Structures are given as structure tokens and as C-alpha cells.
Amino acid sequence: MEIDGHCDARFDGVRQAFASNFDELGDIGASVAATVDGESVVDLWGGTCATDAGPGRPWQRDTIINVWSTTKTMSFLVTLMLADRGLLDLDAPVADVWPEFATGGKDRIDTKHVLSHSAGLSGFDVVTTAHDLTDHDLVCGRLAAQAPWWEPGTASGYHAVTQGYLLGEIARRVGGRSMGRFLADEVTGPLDADFHIGTAAEHDDRVAHVDPPPNALGGDLAPGTIAHRTFATLPLDASASQTHEWRRAEIPAAGGHGNARSVARVMSVLANGGSLDGRQFLSAAMCDRIFEEQQHGNDLVLDRPLRLGLGFGLSSDDMPLPNDRCCFWGGWGGSLALVDMEHRVSFSYVMNDMRESTTGDDRAGRLLMALYGSLGAEVG
């Protein structure tokens, strides 16, 4: 497999692991990137992808793809920036800025509950299709009208798609701009990072199509559970992301388009304590707030233990990270973003071959092991 891009000699193990993902794990097209102290040390891509022009195209330097829930890392950053500017109180009720949201007992849901998937709004009271998800106002109206499915703040239940609309509407109410517009104006534009929540037509020719997993989001779940109720109302097939309607829409939990380079570039803001290239995006104190534990226990939707801070997943016995100053999130099918504030490292992997997992797989794991091997640090 021919691998393109650059990789500092110190991190050649990452290049080797990336190549082996194709040879041994069947990757089709992918990119991987890492930064240290804000500088790119790994930026690799390889394989093939389908695009609007047809199948079998080489994955290029500027290829972008729907990264699913890795998009959430961008939504977390925007929300933290709004709080850092004094426009949003993460500990205050959402209804303070979105009065219509107070119905059905949701007056006790704080923004921190939305960030930690504990708002009790993991799905919808009515079936919501991929077409519906392209209408922000429609979706937010449905979420504002329904009652929580469990007592807010008592447990996490993965808000796979709903979280982005909730955070997006909060952002619009307090910042006067949509989540995607704020991200472009305040983050990706200044950083020249090729990531989009709401992807314009000018990018269509370089958007790779995902290779969907066999099952729709959620898979085979026991009836009557929160997990089944969540995904039964979200009959989402990954092929929906291949439509122009999906690309244009702002879906801040699942619809972002980028590549490993752009994700790692943006996440390096956090890895470096909130500043990058001489510009302060976030205070160090707000970066530290990410590690305030919000939930730690069995997630009602994913049915696995999770430890959650403000947005990001945190290290735990069940999901050990390299150190306690690491945080992460991943996307349906295998994409992953990780921030290590101790080593000032950011990492990302994105791909078109979607596997069943919503929390990463061996492909990203191998790359992380190689990265930390090069750093001389152990992965837990």
C-alpha cells in the first residue's frame, strides 16, 4: 500500500502501523494525523474512496469525509468557548437561554447535562428520519416539546444525534450564530483547518463516500430498553451521508466533514492549553474544566461503562487512556480524536470503511499505540 504525506522520522512507527491497517485489517481509504506542541508530526493518507465522480478514486491530501460523532469534538470546543466568553453558564438551566425548552420538566436540565449525555433526551418521541435531521428548527422543536426519558443528571445515555441539536441551539441563542458558522468564523477559519459543519457545494468533488456498516445505527437491541427506544426513533443508515442534503445541513453531533489533519489541528488548541499560533481560543482554566467528572457508570444507550467530563470521554479502568490529562471522542464506524494535555499531543484517525463500533476499533488503537511508543510513553 502506497502511503502519502509526511511523518517525522521519530514517528515512523505510526507510518508502519498505518500501512498495516490496510494490509492486515482491511482498511480501504483513511488518513491519520498527530501534532506535538501544535506542530504537525504525522500527516498521512492512503487507499481509495468513492466520490460523486465514481468509485476507486485515490484518497488525496484534501479528501474529506463525514466523520460522524468525531464532529462532537468541534461542538464541545464551541460550547466551551462560549462559556469562556461569559455568554453561557454551563451549570445553569438550558431554559435560561432557550425558554421554550422548559416544558415537560426540562427546566432542571443544565448545559453540563447536555455535554455529558445525561439530559434524558437520547432520542425522540416520534420517528425522526435522515431527511428530518436536515431541518434544525424541526428537530429542536421536537426536543423542546418532549419530556426527559430519565431523571436528568442521574446517568448518561449516549445522545448520539440529539446532543448536537441541543448544543447547536444553545450556541445560536447565546452567540447569535449557528454552530457551524461560529466554528468557521472563530476556529477553523483562523486555523486554516479544513473542517465543516454544513459543507458547501464547492467541496463536493473531494468528499469521500463512507462505506456503510451492515446495520443501521444501534443494531439489534432489546425492546423496551432506553437503547432500543433511542435508535428505534432514529432509523439512520450511514448511506444518508452521501446525499447533498445531508452535507449542506448543520448536524453538529454527526454531520461534520473533515480529515485527520483538520481534526488534529483543531484539537491541538486544547492540547496546548487553549492557544495556538499565538492566538488564544480558550483559557487554560476552561481547558481544565473538561476533566470535571460529570458521569461515571454504565451508559444507558451504549450499555458499557463510560466516564464523562464536560463533553469529552475521560480515562477510566474500563477505557484507559495514556494519562489522566487525556480526553477523547470517536465516531460511528471507527474515527477517533484524542487530546493529551500532559504531552501536548493531538491525534486523529478518519476512514471510509465503517465498522460496527461507535467507540473506536483496532485500527485507531494500533495507531495510538505506535504514536505513544514513539513518544516513549505507555498507553494504559
Cell digits for 96? 435560561
Residues 6 or more apart whose CB falls under 8 angstroms from that of 123 comprise 149, 162, 229, 230, 231, 232, 233, 234
User: Which residue numbers are catalytic?
Assistant: 69
Would you say 280 and 81 are in contact if contact means Cβ atoms under 8 Å apart? Answer: no
Q: Which helix (H) or strand (E) holds 222?
A: none
Contact 121, 226 (CB under 8 A): no
Give me the phi and psi of 123, to 5 degrees please.
-145, -160
d(CA 324, CA 276): 22
Instruction: Provide the 3-class DSSP secondary structure of residue 249.
Output: coil
Measured CA to CA in angstroms, residue 200 lies from 138, 207, 248, 359 at distances of 21, 11, 6, 28
Q: Distance (Å, rounded) from C-alpha 64 to C-alpha 259?
A: 5
Residues 6+ apart with CB under 8 A from 9: none
Can you tell me the distance from the alpha carbon of 151 to that of 155, in angstroms, rounded to the nearest whole number? 8
| Closest by CA position to 336, among listed 28, 34, 62 | 34
Distance (Å, rounded) from C-alpha 179 to C-alpha 165?
9
Cα–Cα distance measured from residue 196 to residue 207, given in angstroms and rounded to the nearest whole number: 11
Give the H or E element holding residue 328. strand 326-330
Contacts of 313 (CB under 8 A, 6+ apart): 306, 307, 319, 327, 328, 329
Sort strands 64-66 and 207-208 into parallel, antiparallel or unpaired. parallel
Q: Which of 64, 60, 57, 31 is nearest to 241 (CA)?
A: 64
Q: Which three cell numbers stand for residue 334?
A: 471507527
